Structure 1
Amino acid sequence: MFKKILIANRGEIACRVIKTARKMGIATVAIYSDADRNALHVKMADEAVHIGPAPANQSYIVIDKVMDAIRQTGAEAVHPGYGFLSENKLFAEALAAEGVAFIGPPAGAIEAMGDKITSKKLAQEANVSTVPGYMGLIEDADDAVKISNQVGYPVMIKASAGGGGKGMRIAWNDTEAREGFQSSKNEAANSFGDDRIFIEKFVTQPRHIEIQVLADAHGNTLYLGERECSIQRRNQKVIEEAPSPFLDEATRKAMGEQSCALAAAVGYTSAGTVEFIVDGDRNFYFLEMNTRLQVEHPVTELITGVDLVEQMIRVAYGEALTLKQEDIKLNGWAMESRLYAEDPYRNFLPSIGRLQTYRPPLEVAEETRVVRNDTGVFEGGEISMYYDPMIAKLCTWGPDRATAIEHMRNALDGFEMEGIGHNLPFLAAVYDHEKFTSGNITTAFIEEEYPDGFEGVTLAEADLKRLAASAAAMYRVAEIRRTRVSGRMDNHERKVGQDWVVVTGGTEMPVHIDADQAGASVRFDDGSTHRIESTWTPGDTLAEVFVDGAPMLIKMNKVTAGFRMRWRGAEVILKCYTPRQAELARLMPEKVAPDTSKLLLCPMPGLIVKVDVAVGDEVQEGQALCTVEAMKMENILRAEKTTKITKINAAAGDNLAVDDIIMEFE
């Protein structure tokens, strides 16, 4: 077996590969840029080599720099992870020329199947049903508009060498096709060093289902079931599960066998994924093949018990697969949530900064429950603007889908993260959504269910009262503790009363608390009572509370006269007043937010790529004003109404912070 491998990647996938290599007794080498000098993958590896500045196109995807790191350390093999150089045939060829094993498929298979245009042509030649589109190279934006009209709107504009949602746009008209072509081209060049673009029909109401394949160099190819990846935003997967709640055994078998045949036809070895669009009648269409490990591979591992990274390493070493197709059994159900540094309340715009708090739930592996967190960050670490915004992949497993979902709900409730915007509340909301729990989902789920963006979770009245009762009981405990500060005499302690008013969002809920050694009974004015029991102590930021015997895991932060409580995606400020304090609070004026309607504020830390208007221009609603690049994605900012530009404060090339003023309107 290999003695030392280099991981040509960063973040959580580098950490993931290191874990398996360590289990196999293989030493590891990390590479890192200036921005990743203190990154977790660097700390975990046995050795680490600096390879350049923060931008990926000056470090992680510069083949010569990676090759120098291999020579310096004497690594015998390289695992590329996903993204970066994982589907670059030139990198695979460079490794072969040096006599270094590539833990992935042969260069020929990468070229044939990793390129979306070529792979689609090969699939068509093999009589595999494919989505209609134009597979030739597209010269310019005018050509893109012409082709889009020939294919018929809506169309998907995609980077040929793309992946992970980068270099991908949906266009519904000529204007969007023109803009989408240029943005896709720019993102593709920056992320993959390859700006080729193709266009295909965008199939509405589809499911995105993919098959995991595994092949060796001895003629063995098998499939390990499927993954449902339909919960997507901007073509980026957000939640994945295995198996799919939609497929039947016959469709699964047909998709699996077709995937294996396609892989065998190009001499594929290692782990790979064949992606399909599946319609409501279970007709499936080949979409593309990812010649690498997928982000969502953990859910396949959880339902099959197969360590895919280990299998990739063994295949690269020349070993034959010891597994046969009949050995692959799908056991239970697994869910994966991608935690992103994106602010769901600001249209999921990227967020950067320091992770002031990062405390994932405890990982467990029990007979009826698994919680797994693949991550590449740590508390106190920085989230950089230069790379993908994914923070972690939180996975759960249960014997059935409903149980796996419930385990995920609890894991999300217990995941503490502060310092940056993140999508934990949104993930929690999806897992509670009736359409998701029923399995009735398509790739349009987020677009259809959150057409105006995510505005938070509104709790049912019964759940809000449970939180209010918990807040009242815990605030009383905190007040008792506060009166017992050091140096006070017992007979001078301020008496803590039993009557309180819990206030949230302008709603007042008077309560009466009867406490005992085991907990407290909180009675509302309508006569309803909740029994609260908990081991929470003041200062704890996570509270396991039993409300009438039912557990609630609540994230807690102290605010003036109360708590900021987060549960199941909802965030609620609950103030706990004495009756007299509540009376006085009603007299307090409300703070009015400043008027920013005449300003275009930068919605995220990022780089101004271009400004499309000038001072004095009349702009129409929906017109592009400027483009901001952050975390390898271009974001076009548009006018929200017809107006006139009076001042421009930023130019192309400027780096801006959140809420910096880009331009001003009349």
Structure 2
Amino acid sequence: MFDKILIANRGEIACRVIKTAKAMGIKTVAIYSDADAQALHVKMADEAVHIGPSPANQSYIVIEKVMDAIRQTGAQAVHPGYGFLSENRLFAEALEAEGVAFIGPPASAIESMGDKITSKKLAKEAGVSTVPGYMGLIADADEAVKIAQEVGYPVMLKASAGGGGKGMRIAWNDAEAREGFQSSKNEAASSFGDDRIFIEKFVTQPRHIEIQVLADGHGNCIYLNERECSIQRRNQKVIEEAPSPFLTPEVRKAMGAQSCALAQAVGYTSAGTVEFIVDSAQNFYFLEMNTRLQVEHPVTELITGVDLVEQMIRVANGEALSITQEDVKINGWAMESRLYAEDPYRGFLPSIGRLTRYRPPAESRSATAAVRNDTGVYEGGEISMFYDPMIAKLCTWAPDRPAAIAQMRNALDAFEVEGIGHNIPFLSAVMDHPKFCAGNITTAFIEEEYPDGFHGVDLPQETLKIVGACAAAMYRLGEIRRTKVSGRMDNHERRVRDDWVVGIQGHEFPVTIAADPNGSTVHFESGSHRVASDWTPGKPLALMNVDGIDIALKVEKCTSGFRIRFRGADMRVTVRSPRQAELAKLMIEKVAPDTSKLLLCPMPGLIVKVDVAVGDEVQEGQTLCTVEAMKMENILRAEKKAIVSKIHAAPGDSLAVDAIIMEFE
């Protein structure tokens, strides 16, 4: 077995690989850029080598710099993680020439499958069902439009060397095909150094289901069931699960057999993933093969008990697989939520900054439940603008799907992240969505269910009462502490009132609290809730037991109550005396400032292009400018007809969130 391996990656996947390597007794080497000098993967590794400036194209994806780090440390093997150099044939060949093992497939398989155009041709030859489309190279936007017309709208424009949702656009007409072609090329060139684009038919109402394969150098190839990855935004997976709630055992077997046939046709070894789109009739079509470890691999590990990183290392060491297809079972159900540094209330735009608080729920595993958190950050660390915005992968496992979802709800509620915008509220909202809970999902789920973006959650009235009962009990506890501190209460005289009015999401609930040494019973006009907790004022996370059920509330004290976050809702909860509640209705509400005549930068980013000039009349939907953030181009459009009066930014400017880009008359 190898004595030392280098991880040619960063963030949570580097940390993930280091954990398995340590468990196997293998020393690890991390590489890092300027931005990652204090990163978690650097702290976890046995050694660390600085490889250059913050931009990935000057550090992590510069092959010679990685090779220098290998030579300096004497690493015998390299695990590439995902992204960066993980599917780069030249990198695999450079390692081979140096006599260093690549913990991944042969360079020939990377070349065959890494190019989406070539891979589709090979898949078809191997008997794998494929999507109609144009696999040749496309010269310019005019040709893209012509091809799209021939294939038939809607079409998907894709980067040939792409992945992770980069360089992908859906076009429903000629104008979108023309615009999407240029944006896809720009993103592809920026992310992969390869701007080739191809076009294929976009299958409407599809599900995205992928098969995990594992092959060795001795002719063995197995599949480890499937993962459902249909909850996507802008072609980027957000929530994954295993198994799929949609597939029958027969379809699973057929997809697995085709996946193994493709892997063996290209001489594949190591872990890999064959991705399919599946229509409502369970017809499946090959999308691509990812010749690397997938972001969502933990859900497969949770239902099979197989450590995929360990298997990759053993295969790279020349070992034969120790498991057969008959050994692969489906044990329970697993969910994965990708936590992104992005603000769901601002159209999911990237958010950067310091993590002033980062407290994931405790990892655990029992016979009936599990929580796992793959992360590459820590409290006090910074989220950089230079890399992917994913900060953690929160996973849960349970014997069945409803229980796994329930576990995820609780884990998300208990996950504390402060200092940056993040998508936990949105993830929580999906976990409670009736369609998701029923397994009735497609890749259009987010687009269809949140067409105007995410604006928070309005909780059902019964849930509001549960939150209100907790708030009343917590507020009363704070009042007791306040009166004790002020000296207005002694052991013989109780001065804290029992009747309150709880205001929450437009509702007012008069309540009466009956307290005892073990908790409180909060009485509403109809019904009551028993609340128990060891929460003390000032703690930002309240672990409560309501009517025998454990819940977690994120709590922040404010005037006359709390800011409480729970199940995707961000609520101002007031707790007032009846007289205070009556007077509060007479208060004038503060009006938000009018920004309707301003174009504000929705995220920290770089101005790539300004498409208008002062004096121009713009129409609703017209492109105003393009902002690049975290390797993604974001086109900002006019919300209504207007005349440009001032422009405050130019291409090349780096702007903070809410910086004024232009003004309108």
Normalising by the smaller structure, the TM-score range is over 0.9
Residue 236 (1) aligns with residue 236 (2): yes
Instruction: Give 1:92's aligned residue.
Output: 92
Matching of residue 48 in structure 1 with residue 10 in structure 2: no
> Structure 2 matches for 1:143-158, cutoff 5 A?
143-158=143-158
Q: How much does 1:488 deviate?
A: 6.9
In the TM superposition, what is the alpha-carbon distance from 1:289 to its structure 2 partner? 0.3
**Correspondence for 2:608:** 609
* Other-structure match for 2:527: 528
Q: 2 CA distance for matches of 1:617 and 1:629? A: 23
Q: Is the 8 A contact 2:238 2:338 kept in 1?
A: yes
Higher deviation after alignment, 375-384 or 508-517: 508-517
Aligned to 1:460: 460
Alpha-carbon distance in 2 for matches of 1:136, 1:440: 35
User: TM-score with structure 2 length normalisation?
Assistant: 0.98
Go from structure 1 to structure 2 and tell me whether the alpha carbon gap of 1:506 and 1:400 turns closer, same or farther (over 3 Å shift): closer
Cα deviations across residues 568-625 of structure 1 (Å, max 9, x unaligned)? 1112111111233223323322111010000000000000011111111111111111
Q: Give 1:269's aligned residue.
A: 269
Aligned mates of 1:393, 1:493 — CA distance in 2: 51
CA-to-aligned-CA distance 1:31-85 (integer Å, 9 cap, x gap): 1111111110010001111111111111111111111111111111110000001
2:659 corresponds to: 660
Pairing 1:590–2:583 present: no
**Which amino acid in 1 is paired with 2:338?**
R
Task: Indicate the residue corresponding to 1:439 in structure 2.
Answer: 439
Partner of 1:39: 39
CA contact (8 A) 1:483 1:493 kept: no
- Partner Cα distance (2:439, 2:522) in 1: 38
Name whichever of 633-642 and 124-133 sits farther off: 124-133
Q: Structure 2 matches for 1:2-41, cutoff 5 A?
A: 2-41=2-41
Cα distance, 1:127 vs structure 2: 3.2
Q: Aligned pairs, how many?
A: 665
Matches of 1:123 and 1:549, distance apart in 2: 54
* Range with bigger deviation, 546-555 or 493-502: 493-502
Distance of 2:283 and 2:556 partners within structure 1: 50
Q: Which residue of 2 aligns with 1:641?
A: 640
**CA shift in 2, pair 1:527/1:243, >3 Å:** closer
1:484 and 1:493 in contact (8 A); partners too:
no
Q: Verify the 8 A CA contact 1:115 1:160 in the aligned structure 2.
A: yes
Aligned Cα root-mean-square deviation (Å): 1.4
Give, as a single letter, the amino acid of the residue that structure 2 aligns with 1:654: D
What code does the residue aligned with 2:657 have?
Answer: V
Q: Secondary structure at the match of 1:87?
A: coil
Superimposed CA distance per residue, residues 478-498 of structure 1 (whole angstroms, 9 cap, x where no aligned partner): 111012227778389992212
Q: Do the aligned partners of 1:483 and 1:494 also contact (CA within 8 Å) in 2? A: no
Separation (CA, whole Å) in 2 of partners of 1:130 and 1:554: 47
Q: How far did 1:370 drift? A: 1.1
- 1-side partners of 2:407 and 2:550: how far apart? 13
Q: CA deviation at 1:200?
A: 0.7
> What secondary structure is seen at the aligned counterpart in 1 of 2:28?
strand
CA distance in 2, matches of 1:287, 1:70: 34
Contact 1:16 1:374 (8 Å CA) reproduced: yes
The CA deviation at 1:398 is 0.8
Over residues 548-584 of structure 1, what are the superposed CA-to-partner deviations in whole Å (9 max), with x where a residue is unaligned?
A: 3332221111112211111111121111112332233
* More deviation, 562-571/41-50: 562-571
Tell me how far 1:659 sits from its aligned partner.
0.3
Q: Show the counterpart of 1:378.
A: 378
TM-score by length of 1: 0.98
Give the superposition deviation at 1:406. Answer: 1.0
Distance 1:507 1:446 in 2: 28
> Matched residues in 2 for 1:477 and 1:149: separation?
67
Per-residue deviation, residues 231-290 of structure 1 (Å, max 9, x unmatched): 111000011111111111111111111111110011000000001111111111111100
CA distance in 1, matches of 2:504, 2:365: 39
Q: Distance in 1 between matches of 2:583 and 2:489?
A: 30
Match in the other structure for 1:194: 194
Aligned partners of 2:127 and 2:258 also within 8 Å: no
Q: Distance in 1 between matches of 2:100 and 2:547?
A: 62
Query: Residues 343-393 of structure 1, C-alpha deviation per residue, up to 9 Å, x if partnerless?
Result: 111111111111111111110011111110000000111111111110100
SS in 1 for 2:395: strand
The 8 Å contact of residues 612 and 624 in structure 2, kept in 1 or not, is answered as yes
Distance in structure 2 (CA, Å) of the matches to 1:286 and 1:354: 41
Matched, 1:503 2:503: yes
**Residue 126 of structure 2 contacts residue 261 of structure 2 at CA under 8 Å; is this kept in 1?**
no
Q: Residues 416-457 of structure 1: CA distance to partner in whole angstroms, max 9, x if unpaired? A: 111111111111111111111111111111111111111111
C-alpha distance in 2 between matches for 1:300 and 1:527: 46
The range that moved more, 433-442 or 530-539, is 530-539
Unaligned runs of at least 5 residues, structure 2: none
Query: Which structure 2 residues correspond to residues 626-637 of structure 1 after superposition, within 5 A?
Result: 626-637=625-636
Deviates more, 1:643-652 or 1:527-536: 527-536
| 2: CA distance, partners of 1:529 / 1:242 | 39
In structure 2, what is the equivalent of residue 599 of structure 1?
598
Aligned-pair distance for 1:167? Answer: 1.0
Matches within 5 A, 1:167-316: 167-316=167-316
Give the letter aligned to residue 139 of structure 2.
Answer: E
Q: Is the 8 A contact 1:206 1:278 kept in 2?
A: yes
How far apart, in 2, do the equivalents of 1:34 and 1:183 lie? 29
Secondary structure of the equivalent of 1:149?
A: helix
2:268 corresponds to which letter in structure 1?
Y
State the partner residue of 2:115: 115
Distance 1:337 1:489 in 2: 47
* Residue in 1 that maps onto 2:541: 542
Shift of 1:214: 0.5
- Return closer, same or farther for 1:67/1:477 CA change in 2, 3 Å cut-off: same
User: What letter is aligned with 1:183?
Assistant: S
Q: Which structure 1 segments of 5+ residues have no match?
A: none
Percent identity over the alignment is: 79
1:338 pairs with 2:341: no
**Alignment partners' CA distance in 1, 2:655 and 2:317:** 47
Q: What is the deviation of 1:508?
A: 2.8
SS, match of residue 485 in structure 2? coil
Which amino acid counterpart does residue 630 of structure 1 have in structure 2?
A
Partner Cα separation in structure 1 for residue 269 and residue 360 of structure 2: 35
2:473 aligned partner? 473
Alpha-carbon distance in structure 1 between the residues aligned to 2:40 and 2:549: 37
Higher mean C-alpha displacement, 440-449 vs 540-549: 540-549
Q: Following TM superposition, by how much is the alpha carbon of 1:504 offset from its aligned partner in structure 2, in angstroms?
A: 2.7
Whether 2:317 is the aligned partner of 1:322: answer no
Alignment partner, residue 573 of structure 1: 572
CA distance in 2, matches of 1:491, 1:394: 46
In the aligned structure 2, how far is the partner of 1:323 from the partner of 1:514?
59
Aligned to 1:129: 129
Q: Distance in 2 between matches of 1:54 and 1:280?
A: 44
Could you tell me whether the CA contact under 8 Å between 1:385 and 1:630 is conserved in 2?
Answer: yes
Map residues 483-502 of structure 1 onto 2, 5 A cutoff: 483-485=483-485, 490=490, 495-502=495-502
The amino acid of 2:140's aligned partner reads: D
Does the 8 Å contact 2:464/2:504 carry over to 1?
A: no
Letter of the 1:3 counterpart: D
Aligned residue type for 2:589: E
Equivalents in 2 of 1:427, 1:147: separation in Å?
Answer: 37
3-state SS of paired residue (1:378): coil
One-letter code aligned to 1:613: V
SS of 1:490's equivalent in the other structure is coil
Q: What does residue 68 of structure 2 align with? A: 68
Report which stretch shifted further, 296-305 or 550-559: 550-559
| Alignment CA distance shift 1:488-1:251 (3 Å) | same
Aligned partner letter, 1:350: P
CA distance in 2, matches of 1:198, 1:216: 32
